[in-house]
């Protein structure tokens, strides 16, 4: 049964299966003759919160469709408790005259049907049954519960009473999500739910899912959500399912350890095979050794091959290097910006240098995208003074640019349009630098995955080696490995970065400055991301009761720059000492050094190692001290 964008499906075996909510047994399914899932089994207990992960194209969304009963397995079975309700976001809510609040409440189809029956029923016994059931499902608090969910997903009290037709598709997706959360199905299946949320909405959803009263399975590439909102990871790999306890970081560590053990075992077996085969090759023709050779042939035949883990596909982003410009690259004094006569942001006094990494915080609709467009030169300043370096090149990435790619053209054709004089090898090298290899380079964009389209758009945004790179939700279609590659590329990038993202993991690793866009202004946020998250999830009434912190004296720009230089020096010192430590560790691992005849050498190398470790401890302490000083100055 479905309503609006919130889907509710009834599934289940003839009888309940105890505390087990979902049982997948020896499941198999193929797409166009290619096995996608083969002999997969998993058991999800009732009330568990599980993250479903796996490479793009491994079959995660297909598994959801099999659980919902939209597809029929070729083998095996999926069991659920009798009459279990499965919920998910089927599509965006249609554009209609129904208010957001009513649309969300209608997603609970049982409540809606009972309310309609209560208004028309005449039989006294049936009226009593309906009223009892309405009380059981807490029907009378429905409006308050629906409003709480809509507020968490970014809607104001006034917007909740507006018709769905007043909102864009992205906002109606939020309404669909609100509807299925309100309906509280027994098994909640969510496929990349944060892709259409801002940071604030994503953090609220994390908190909500962690406290959700029933079973949840969520497909997500958001590492923060997979660490904080779920208690287990269901991994779909090589057509099989494996359930791991703990969040994503625990899963990643366990998988790395398993792969290391598997690779070591495969290496040992290869060496053993080579040794046996060598004996066979040498003595199989020798009568005196024939029996031993034959026994070794049998040993080889009986050895079950251990396969080393396949190398993971390389996920890369290679940003071109811009030349260095004199600071600042952008400076504003009293700037206003908006659309026509409507001013969105006013009295902006901001500065950006080429080594800045800035994250824009603030709820959707506060002006983050407007500020991004101003910095990108896509909107003019409506007042004040804005000074921009004459040589400044800006790269701008936003989701709408991914949607505006030419679906009937290949990535090579897109790049050739911007670089018509470059040869084919150079064009393909550019694409390879963003993980688009030969096959994808010649595939029309309409057939590429969302992640591949995002990579192409990032390439087009950075092809001119921009001094300032503005990224508005760059990770929406990137898997976890690609997000980690993006972090590496941005860390190595020598231009300024302005970042808008709902991905806390990305923001925490890339940004060293936070700007809060709120109430028509932009100002440095005085604390860190964890504090911002805590503030968003806190009870607003409690916040009002807290005494305001006394303002700290503001550090000058020159002091901040000096402290940044000191941090860089400390980092370089630590890196050099770490290199020395690693070289000495290799030396001390040499078995020959431990011969009795070389005891004097061993003492010398041990003493050097101890000196380097002592120096490293001091250098790291100075580094942390300089970082603390810089953070305090920036606050």
Query: Which pLDDT score is estimated for 93?
Result: 77
Residue 314 is predicted with a pLDDT of 59
501 belongs to a structural domain: yes
Tell me, yes or no, whether 311 lies in a domain: no
Q: What is the dihedral of CA 378, 379, 380, 384, to 10 degrees?
A: -120
Q: Are 235 and 63 in contact (CB under 8 A)?
A: no
Radius of gyration of the chain (CA): 30
Q: Please tell me whether residues 79 and 184 are part of one structural domain.
A: yes
Query: What pLDDT, on a 0 to 100 scale, did the predictor assign at position 545?
Result: 35
Co-location of 387 and 285 in the same domain: no
Phi first, then psi: give them for residue 22, nearest 5 degrees.
-135, 130
Q: For the chain (length 635 residues), average pLDDT per consecutive 10?
A: 56 48 94 90 94 88 93 94 86 83 88 86 85 81 90 92 88 92 94 90 93 94 92 94 93 85 78 79 69 73 66 74 94 94 94 94 90 94 95 92 88 95 94 90 90 92 96 89 90 94 91 93 91 79 40 60 74 79 77 68 76 75 74 71
* Rounded CA separation 6/476 (Å): 21
Write the DSSP symbol of residue 597.
Answer: G
Helix, strand, coil in percent for the chain, rounding step 5:
50, 20, 30
CB 460 within 8 A of CB 315: no
**Cα–Cα nearest to 619, from 575, 574, 578:** 574
In this structure, are 437 and 518 located in the same domain? Answer: yes
pLDDT at 472: 92
Distance CA 50, CA 64 (A): 13
Residues 527 and 395 in one domain: yes
Q: Are residues 349 and 424 in the same domain?
A: yes
Confirm whether 550 is domain-assigned: no
Based on the number of CB atoms within 10 Å of its own CB, is 538 exposed (0-12), middle (13-18) or buried (19 or more)?
exposed
Q: What is the CATH number of the domain that holds 536?
A: 3.40.50.300
**Same domain as 242, residue 271:** no
Choosing from 224, 246, 268, the residue where a domain stops is 246
Rounded to the nearest angstrom, the gap between the alpha carbon of residue 568 and the centroid of all alpha carbons in its chain is: 29
If asked whether residues 85 and 164 sit together in one domain, one would say yes
Q: Does a structural domain hold residue 462?
A: yes
Same domain assignment for residues 533 and 586 = no
CA distances from 435 to 121, 189, 259, 545, 566 (A): 63, 30, 24, 51, 36
Task: Give CA 590 to chain center in angstroms.
Answer: 42
For the chain, count helices (H), then strands (E): 22, 21
d(CA 128, CA 112): 17
- pLDDT value, residue 277: 83
Position 115 in a domain: no
**Residue 166 is assigned to a structural domain of this protein:** yes
- Our count of domains for the chain comes to 4
- Which domain, by its residues, includes 484? 330-541
DSSP 338-354: EETTEEEEEEE--EE-T
341 domain residue, yes or no: yes
Q: What is the pLDDT of residue 498?
A: 97
Do residues 235 and 256 share a domain? Answer: no
**Cα separations (Å) of 369 from 41, 343, 376, 473?**
45, 14, 10, 10
* In-domain check, residue 122: no
**Domain end among 541, 574, 596:** 541
pLDDT tens, 506-560? 999 999 899 999 999 999 998 889 899 888 887 554 333 334 444 445 566 667 6
One domain for residues 241 and 259 = no
Residues 363 and 403 in one domain: yes
Same domain for 524 and 627?
Answer: no
């Amino acid at each position: 049964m479905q309503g609006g964008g919130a889907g509710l499906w009834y599934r289940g075996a003839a009888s309940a299966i105890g505390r087990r909510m979902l049982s997948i047994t020896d499941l198999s399914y193929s797409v166009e003759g290619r096995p996608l899932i083969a002999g997969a089994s998993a058991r999800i207990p009732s009330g568990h919160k599980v993250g479903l992960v796996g490479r793009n194209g491994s079959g995660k969304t297909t598994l959801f469709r099999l659980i919902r009963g939209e597809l029929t397995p070729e083998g095996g079975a999926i069991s659920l408790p009798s009459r279990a309700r499965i919920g998910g976001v089927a599509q965006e809510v249609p554009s209609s005259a129904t208010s957001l609040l009513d649309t969300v409440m209608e997603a609970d189809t049982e409540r809606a049907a009972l309310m309609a029956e209560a208004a028309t029923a005449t039989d006294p016994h049936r009226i009593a049954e309906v009223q009892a059931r309405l009380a059981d499902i807490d029907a009378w608090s429905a409006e308050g519960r629906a409003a709480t969910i809509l507020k968490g997903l970014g809607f104001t009290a006034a917007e909740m009473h507006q018709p769905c037709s007043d909102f864009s598709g992205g906002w109606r997706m939020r309404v669909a999500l609100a509807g299925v959360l309100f309906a509280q199905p027994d098994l909640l299946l969510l496929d990349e739910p944060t892709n259409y949320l801002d940071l604030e909405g994503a953090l609220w959803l994390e908190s909500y899912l962690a406290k959700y009263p029933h079973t949840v399975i969520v497909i997500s590439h958001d590492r923060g959500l997979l660490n904080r909102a779920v208690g287990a990871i269901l991994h779909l790999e090589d057509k099989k399912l494996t359930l791991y306890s703990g969040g994503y970081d625990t899963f990643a560590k366990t998988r790395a350890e398993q792969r290391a053990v598997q690779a070591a075992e495969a290496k040992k077996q290869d060496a053993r095979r080579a040794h046996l085969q060598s004996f066979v090759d040498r003595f199989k023709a020798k009568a005196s050794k024939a029996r031993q050779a034959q026994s070794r042939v049998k040993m080889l035949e009986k050895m079950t091959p251990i396969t080393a883990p396949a190398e993971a596909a390389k996920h890369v982003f290679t940003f071109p290097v811009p030349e260095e410009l004199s600071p600042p690259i952008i400076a504003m004094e009293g700037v206003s910006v908006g659309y026509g006569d409507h001013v969105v942001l006013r009295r902006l006094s901001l500065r950006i240098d080429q080594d800045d990494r800035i994250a824009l915080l603030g709820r959707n609709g506060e002006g983050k995208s407007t500020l991004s467009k101003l910095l990108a030169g896509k909107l003019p300043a409506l007042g004040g003074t804005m000074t921009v370096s004459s040589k400044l090149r800006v790269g701008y990435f936003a989701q709408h640019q991914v949607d505006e790619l030419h679906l009937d053209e290949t990535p090579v054709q897109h790049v050739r349009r911007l670089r018509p004089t470059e040869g084919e090898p150079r064009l393909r090298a550019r694409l390879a630098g963003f993980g688009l290899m030969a096959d994808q380079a010649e595939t029309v964009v309409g057939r590429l995955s969302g992640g591949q389209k995002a990579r192409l758009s990032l390439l087009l945004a950075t092809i001119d080696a921009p001094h300032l790179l503005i990224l508005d939700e760059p990770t929406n279609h990137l898997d976890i490995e690609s997000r980690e590659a993006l972090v590496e590329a941005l860390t190595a990038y020598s231009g300024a970065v302005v970042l808008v993202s709902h991905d806390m993991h990305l923001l925490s690793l890339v940004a060293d400055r936070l700007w809060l866009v709120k109430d028509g202004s932009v100002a440095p946020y005085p604390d860190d991301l964890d504090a911002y998250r805590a503030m968003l999830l806190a009870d607003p009434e409690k916040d009002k009761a807290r005494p305001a912190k006394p303002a700290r004296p503001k550090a000058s720009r020159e002091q901040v720059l000096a402290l940044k230089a000191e941090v860089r020096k400390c980092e370089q010192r630590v890196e050099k000492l770490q290199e020395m430590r690693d070289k000495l560790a290799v030396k001390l691992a040499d078995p020959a050094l431990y011969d009795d005849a070389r005891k004097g050498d061993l003492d010398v190398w041990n003493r050097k190692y101890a000196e380097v470790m002592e120096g490293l401890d001091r250098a790291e302490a100075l580094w942390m001290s300089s970082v603390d000083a810089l953070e305090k100055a920036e606050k």
